[in-house]
Chain A
Amino acid sequence: MNKIKSLADLKKLKEEVQSKIKLREKGDNPDNLIQIKVSMATCGIASGAKDTMNYFIEELDHQGIDALITQTGCMGFCYAEPTIELTMPGKQPVIYGYVDKAKAQEIIDKHIKLNELVDGIIPVSYKTIDE
């Protein structure tokens, strides 16, 4: 059986990673990065926002695309969870609703790589009837 990982192993890994990071850091201004915010309140979590977020993290890492992926609170589009806000460098943020893994893949393939908008955008001007 393999030894389970501990903090001591982390120290070793850190040294390996450190040199790679230095190379990456040059372009590490948040304004130059693709930013994805995943809405993660009760509504989002219950609809699978965690899986969506993990999928974005894994897939973008796998494809070697640098992006800043964070969680955020409820954006008020509970009916369309999981929702994400995608900001391409120098562009206005765009909100997508119903982002499951298939949708996430489509967003990566089309919007992030080719800069083509994908179906499912929630218009900024949309308000619930009550407001």
Chain B
Amino acid sequence: MNELALHILDIAQNSIRANAGLIEIRIHEKPDDNLLQMEIEDNGKGMSPQQVEQAANPFFTSRTKRKVGLGLPLLKQNAEQTEGSFQLHSEENKGTQLQVNFGFHHIDRPVLGDMAGTLLILAANEKQAEIKYSHETPKGQFEFDTRDIKKELDGIPLSTPEIRKFLNEMIRENLEQIQISE
């Protein structure tokens, strides 16, 4: 996977599967410190210490449909390739926090990609988990919270074509405003 947006789409599904009510996604772009930081935090069912230890092992998964679980290992590999780091903390029945650092100027750093598409797919998840996204760059900050959107929409589904199109443009335009890279 060569886009940060795809990794987020992938990893956040873990939170949805863990019955999280709220998933917070935070991106910090700090080119001066050569750092692109991504944090994902949820209040789902968490993992046992053994599971945390095994999580970055490609041959470990909590699923029964198949025997490999590549989501976290691929992300870890991508981070380490850019001289970054990968930290996973979890507490059972409390939630999970993931912090991944990438070398901002490293040639192998994944680009941001289609974040609007990712957020819209995540926002319409079937378990009604709320998504809070914040993105900070030296040029500014953008926040997107499905709770605010849902309040505004007052019962109209997020998947309505007109609403989807609007939200897509809204996220895209706001991110373009503060974008420095790419």
Which positions in A face B, CB cutoff 8 Å? 4-7, 9-11, 13-14, 16-18, 20-21, 40-43, 45-46, 50, 53-54, 57, 61, 68-76, 78, 130
Cross-chain pair count, CB within 8 angstroms: 92
Residues of A within 8 A of B92 (CB): none
- B164 nearest in chain A by CB position: A57
- Within 8 Å by CB of B121, from A16, A71, A76, A78, lies A71
Shortest beta-carbon distance, B171 to chain A, in Å?
A: 9
- Given A14-B152, A17-B162, A73-B17, verify A45-B9 contact (CB < 8 Å): yes
Q: Are B166 and A45 in contact (CB under 8 A)?
A: no
- Within 8 Å by CB of A78, from B66, B117, B118, B163, lies B66
Q: Are A9 and B125 in contact (CB under 8 A)?
A: no
Chain B contact residues: helix, strand, loop or mixed: helix
Residues of B within 8 A of A17 (CB): 156, 160, 162-163
- Within 8 Å by CB of A42, from B65, B74, B149, B156, lies B74
A75–B156 Cα distance when bound, in Å, is 30
Q: Are B156 and A14 in contact (CB under 8 A)?
A: yes
27 example contacts (A-B, Cβ-Cβ < 8 A) are as follows A4-B170, A4-B177, A5-B174, A10-B149, A10-B167, A10-B170, A13-B163, A14-B152, A14-B163, A17-B162, A20-B162, A21-B156, A40-B13, A40-B121, A41-B71, A45-B1, A45-B9, A46-B1, A46-B6, A50-B9, A50-B114, A50-B121, A69-B159, A71-B13, A71-B121, A73-B17, A76-B65
Q: Are A10 and B118 in contact (CB under 8 A)?
A: no
Given contacts A13-B166, A21-B156, A41-B13, 16 further A-B contacts (CB under 8 A): A4-B173, A4-B174, A7-B152, A10-B166, A10-B167, A14-B152, A14-B153, A17-B156, A17-B162, A42-B71, A46-B6, A50-B121, A53-B121, A57-B164, A71-B124, A74-B63
Q: Are B10 and A5 in contact (CB under 8 A)?
A: no
Q: Are B154 and A14 in contact (CB under 8 A)?
A: yes
Q: Are A50 and B66 in contact (CB under 8 A)?
A: no
